[in-house]
Amino acid sequence: MYRILEFLRQEKGFISGEEIGKRLDISRAAVWKGIKKLREEGYVIEAVTNKGYRLILHDTMYNEKEIAQGLATKKLGYPVYFFKETDTTNGRLRDIAAGGETEGAIAVAEQMTAGRGRRGRPWEAPAGSGIWMSILLRPNIFPSQASVLTLLAGLAVCQSIEEETGLTPSIKWPNDIMLNGKKLVGILTEMECEMQQTHFVIVGIGINVNTTEFPEGLMDVATSLYLESGRTFSRKNILQRVLLNFEKLYMELLDSHCSFAPFLDRYKEKCSTIHQEVKVLGKETFFAQAVDITPEGELVVIRKDNGKKEVVFSGEVSIRGGKTSE
């Protein structure tokens, strides 16, 4: 069926079933069956007597084939594992990776029934509205360095959204992407490692694209590109752009021996946390003023209670007075 799709994609105008059959060396009945299947998948194929078939191209199709088609990356996105419904793409890709899959493979779901968020929280991932994607990486880094991948994923997603939509989201350190004070994107990085060795890393990215509403309780803190702009966007185009931008940053990271320093200025430019009052949620919870990001990607804060400077390594900050997912 996908050979027929390729064929229709290349043809500008109509092409008869007979001609398709001849070129692909299949019967007219097989062509008709293939067309029927493609339509069932959601492709709009016009049929006119005496003229044949024509594919009406549209950007809303979202499946393995569409995502792979036109990917400009060298590594990321090969192969694409697409699930109409799955529990969690991070979990699925983890199993796939444990079976030996190569770096760059991605798992994408139309819908997740048990999407995972940070700190054991659930992640809402209904069908038709967002990008729920996990990326498999096998970098030669120490487990302690892996958090830099999360920072770069945030930067790549932020850049990609800006390029694809013209909207200007910002990064809430370390890696939430915010738009107009609400959370637009969540990133969850998980890894398989031993003390000194990383076997693989799964970077899970959730982007609320065309979501029209959120469950009660989330409406105040979460948003989507659609809700902020009134426009719908092609998930495929955004996903492909994220892969391309993330791959560029990832390659640069490997070239720089996994140092975050070369990315610091770019990251800081997009990061809205600096100069904000924050609540640091870690072993200890305290209020502070965020003042800088270190070349290692940590947040520098000045505590409100004792005026001391501290470096926050990971964990979470919630912006005081702003809306967050906390």
Query: Which residues of this protein are in contact with ligand BTN, per CB under 6 A?
Result: 88-90, 112, 115-118, 121, 123, 125, 132-134, 176, 186-188, 204-206
Whole-Å CA distances, 233 to 17, 163, 164, 168, 206: 33, 12, 9, 15, 15
Positions at the binding site for biotin: 88-90, 116-118, 183
CB of 114 vs ligand BTN, minimal distance in Å: 7
CB of 176 vs ligand BTN, minimal distance in Å: 6
Nearer to ligand BTN, 43 or 132 (CB): 132
Instruction: Identify the three-state secondary structure at position 269.
Output: helix
Nearer to ligand BTN, 55 or 210 (CB): 210
Nearer to ligand BTN, 27 or 180 (CB): 180
Instruction: Identify the three-state secondary structure at position 127.
Output: coil
Positions at the binding site: 88-90, 116-118, 183
| Secondary structure (DSSP) of 158-217 | HHHHHHHHS---EEETTTEEEETTEEEEEEEEEEEE-SS-EEEEEEEEEEE-S-----TT
CB of 117 vs ligand BTN, minimal distance in Å: 3
Give the separation between CA 53 and CA 17, rounded to whole angstroms: 7
Instruction: Identify the three-state secondary structure at position 271.
Output: strand
CB-based closest residue to ligand BTN:
186
CB of 171 vs ligand BTN, minimal distance in Å: 12
Give the separation between CA 147 and CA 137, rounded to whole angstroms: 13
Nearer to ligand BTN, 169 or 204 (CB): 204
CB of 91 vs ligand BTN, minimal distance in Å: 7
